[in-house]
Amino acid sequence: MDSGEEDDFVGLEGTPPEIQEAAAAATANLMPQKSKKQYERQYKLFINWRQEKQTESFSKNVLLAYIQQLSTRMKPSSLWAIYSMLRTTLNLKNNIDISKYPKLCAFLKNKSSGYKPKKSRILTPEQIKEFLCSAPDENYLFSKLGLIFGIMGACRREELMKVETNHVEDLSTALLVHIPDTKTKTERQFVIGGNFYGICKKYMELRPQDVHTTRFFLNYQRGKCTRQPVGINKFGSLPCQVATFLKLPNPTSYTGHCLRRSSATLLVDAGADITALKRHGGWRSTTVAETYIDHSLNNKIQTANKISNIIQSESSNITQSESSNIIQSESSNIIQSESFDIENTVDKNINLEFSSNTHDKTRINNNNTALIQFNNCNNISSLTVTLHNK
């Protein structure tokens, strides 16, 4: 009896139970571990909805009806997230590939048309500098430190929360910071130096010696660090705190994503290309990386200057070309032209003689002048030219 026949006797589906369990465990691990609960929740909601509608089908019409019902109370970005989670879970649990449902994808794209998601506002270099210089350390030293780390490393709030003491290496004049656990599973490093290094050192020296946690960021109150590590929500509210201190309009629009977006925008405004931006923020997708760049006024001014400079340069070239054509045309009517090198002199008198007959005089030009070219006219304060007709 071959192995296939043995499988038929062992289980209804032809697979031993222990192998089925192992396969199920392996399948469960295919879902993202950090958001596994969300995937399971969305799958359960869809299954419950099917039961309410008294259907057991996974057809494209069923999926389209479910997503359409959700679209009445959800943003397009949320619909895409649910679609992605259902695509994964249905494929793993039911062997259904909803990515092959063209009407469903078309519906989602149509819902996304014209939709502009709200994005966090960014901090300008002037605003960052003002906060670091004017905010008192007694109350805002932690905020300064979080701002520096977030801007210099384009850090997410969960990345800041998970920074540990062994991730920060003191180089005497700068800090080398490692971010090993990122959303895209790409390790990043960045350096904090200059005046920022002094602010960080001041905070680090206040760290209590008998702290049991390895987390780098500890709660800071009234000029002292406590033993309690900083949570993710405090990092999320940090940009709002900075905006409130600076009295910026609508400070709640500076969300936890502000630091990462500000860092990306500052880097691009400084002239970095998309490759440097992706490496800095750990982005894999160029499209995603570009969404973090704020269309700042400085960015628009630089773009306008580049375009106008090209136009002016071309216009200058055209003018010079036209002038050259005019000179060449007039030169054909000029009896004599001279070129003088008058370098390293202050005052210069030049006597120029030219010959012409009565008929040629009318061909010089209307003002009876000749074309004269002077080279190397540095340091000339006075120049006299006298024309003699012989």
pLDDT at residue 59 tops 90 = yes
Which among 112, 143, 178 is the end of a domain?
A: 112
Q: Which two tokens stand for residue 288?
A: 């995603």
- pLDDT at position 28 is 66
Among 245-259, 299-313, 315-329, which is the least confidently predicted range?
Answer: 315-329
- pLDDT at position 381 is 52
In a domain, 120, yes or no: no
Among 84-88, 195-199, 361-365, which is the least confidently predicted range?
Answer: 361-365
- pLDDT at position 52 is 94
pLDDT at residue 116 tops 90 = no
C-alpha span between 235 and 256 (Å, rounded)? 7
Which among 285, 316, 332 is the end of a domain?
A: 332
The tens digit of pLDDT for each residue in 309-354 reads 888 876 666 656 555 555 454 444 444 444 444 444 444 455 544 4
- pLDDT at position 167 is 95
What torsion do the CA atoms of 164, 166, 171, 177 make, to the nearest 10 degrees? -40
C-alpha span between 122 and 267 (Å, rounded)? 13
- pLDDT at position 319 is 59
In a domain, 3, yes or no: no
pTM for the model: 0.64
What number is the average pLDDT over the span 2-24? Answer: 56
Quick one: 271 and 306 in the same domain? no
**Helices 102-112, 76-94: crossing angle, 10 deg rounding:** 160
Quick one: 205 and 150 in the same domain? yes
C-alpha span between 361 and 190 (Å, rounded)? 76
Tell which wins on pLDDT, 136 or 347.
136
List the beta strands (DSSP E) in the chain. Answer: 168-170, 174-179, 188-193, 218-221, 224-229, 338-341, 347-354, 372-375, 382-389
Tell which wins on pLDDT, 224 or 364.
224
3-state secondary structure (DSSP) of residue 276: helix
Average pLDDT, the chain: 80
**Helices 274-281, 258-269: crossing angle, 10 deg rounding:** 150
3-state secondary structure (DSSP) of residue 368: coil
Q: Which amino acid is at 103?
A: K
What number is the average pLDDT over the span 54-79? Answer: 93
Domain of residue 308 covers 302-332
pLDDT band at 286 (very low <50, low <70, confident <90, very high): confident
CB 145 within 8 A of CB 196: no
Domain tally, the chain: 4
Quick one: 247 and 162 in the same domain? yes
In a domain, 378, yes or no: yes
Residues whose CB is less than 8 angstroms from the CB of residue 60 and which lie 6 or more positions away in sequence, other chains included: 98, 101, 103, 104
- pLDDT at position 315 is 63
CA angle at residue 263 from 138 to 187, to 5 degrees? 100
Q: What percent of the chain has pLDDT over 70?
A: 74
In terms of residues, how long is the chain?
A: 390
- pLDDT at position 294 is 67
Quick one: 158 and 286 in the same domain? yes
What number is the average pLDDT over the span 176-205? Answer: 90
Residues whose CB is less than 8 angstroms from the CB of residue 58 and which lie 6 or more positions away in sequence, other chains included: 90, 94, 96, 98
Phi, psi of 25 (to 5 degrees): -65, -40
What number is the average pLDDT over the span 149-160? Answer: 94
Task: Give the best-scoring range by mean pLDDT among 129-143, 178-192, 293-307, 335-349.
Answer: 129-143
Quick one: 65 and 173 in the same domain? no
Quick one: 205 and 85 in the same domain? no
- pLDDT at position 84 is 93
Quick one: 165 and 270 in the same domain? yes
pLDDT at residue 95 tops 60 = yes
Residues whose CB is less than 8 angstroms from the CB of residue 69 and which lie 6 or more positions away in sequence, other chains included: 49
Which among 294, 322, 349 is the end of a domain?
A: 294
In a domain, 1, yes or no: no
C-alpha span between 207 and 203 (Å, rounded)? 7
pLDDT at residue 11 tops 50 = no
pLDDT band at 4 (very low <50, low <70, confident <90, very high): very low
What number is the average pLDDT over the span 343-371? Answer: 46
pLDDT at residue 163 tops 90 = yes
Tell which wins on pLDDT, 344 or 112.
112
CA separation (Å) from 287 to 32, 112, 250, 278? Answer: 22, 16, 28, 10
Q: Give the DSSP letter of residue 367.
A: T
Quick one: 44 and 158 in the same domain? no
Q: What percent of the chain has pLDDT over 90?
A: 49
Quick one: 260 and 241 in the same domain? yes
What number is the average pLDDT over the span 285-294? Answer: 79
CB 355 within 8 A of CB 335: yes
In a domain, 232, yes or no: yes
What number is the average pLDDT over the span 287-300? Answer: 74
The dihedral built from the CA positions of residue 307, 309, 313 and 319, taken in this order, carries a sign that is: positive
In a domain, 13, yes or no: no
DSSP string of 43-54?
HHHHHHHHHHTT
DSSP string of 202-268?
HHHHTS-TT----BS-EEEETTEEEEEEPPHHHHHHHHHHHHHHTT-SSGGGS-TTHHHHHHHHHHH
Quick one: 261 and 165 in the same domain? yes
What number is the average pLDDT over the span 86-112? Answer: 92
